[in-house]
Each structure stands twice: as C-alpha cells, then as structure tokens.
Amino acid sequence: MALGFRLQRHPNVTPAQIHNLATCEWIRKGEPLCLIGDSGTGKSHLLIGLGAAAAMAGFRVRYALAAKLVNELVEPPTRSS
C-alpha cells in the first residue's frame, strides 16, 4: 500500500481515498485535512506519509499535534529584544 498505511486496520478507509490524498489535490484547492480517531490507529503514520508526499510535490509541510497548535493560538507572542 502506498505510504505504508495498513488498510486492513481501517475498513472505512479505501485505497482510492489514500491515493487521492497523496495526489495533494486537496492542498491545491486549499482544503484542510484533520484526522480524528482513537489512539494507535495510524493517524500520525498516515499524516507523516501524506506530508512526505506533499513535500516531494513541492509544498511546505508542518507536522504539529493539535494541543501544540492550540497552545500557540492562546499564548501571547514572545518579544524579541
């Protein structure tokens, strides 16, 4: 399977969906992607693979956990002297 994602563990995810995401068309259209699910289900693995595909397609990529993003939004910017 492309990106090393184990589809047998995810019966609601089709190979076509993964391949479609790997084309990065959703990025070109400005569409967000957020994966939600139980711990240990492969979300991070899939996102890292999709990030690698996006980087190879010339996009800038940033991987961050949701908690870190929330903290960045609520914390005031630090001053540089």
Residues sharing a CB contact under 8 Å with residue 48, sequence separation 6 or more, in sequence order: 63
For the chain, the domain total comes to 1
- Please report, as a single letter, which amino acid is at residue 75: E
Average pLDDT over residues 45-67: 89
Domain assignment present for residue 79? The answer is no
Residues sharing a CB contact under 8 Å with residue 31, sequence separation 6 or more, in sequence order: none
Q: What is the pLDDT of residue 53?
A: 92
Domain assignment present for residue 9? The answer is yes
- Structural domain range at position 36: 2-74
pLDDT greater than 50 at residue 1: no
pLDDT greater than 70 at residue 19: yes
pTM exceeds cut of 0.95: no
Q: Is 1 helix (H, G, I), strand (E, B) or coil?
A: coil
Q: What is the pLDDT of residue 13?
A: 79
Place of tokens 């940033």: 62
Average pLDDT over residues 8-19: 80
| Count of other CB atoms within 10 angstroms of residue 61 | 15
Domain assignment present for residue 46? The answer is yes
Percentage with pLDDT > 70 across the chain: 85
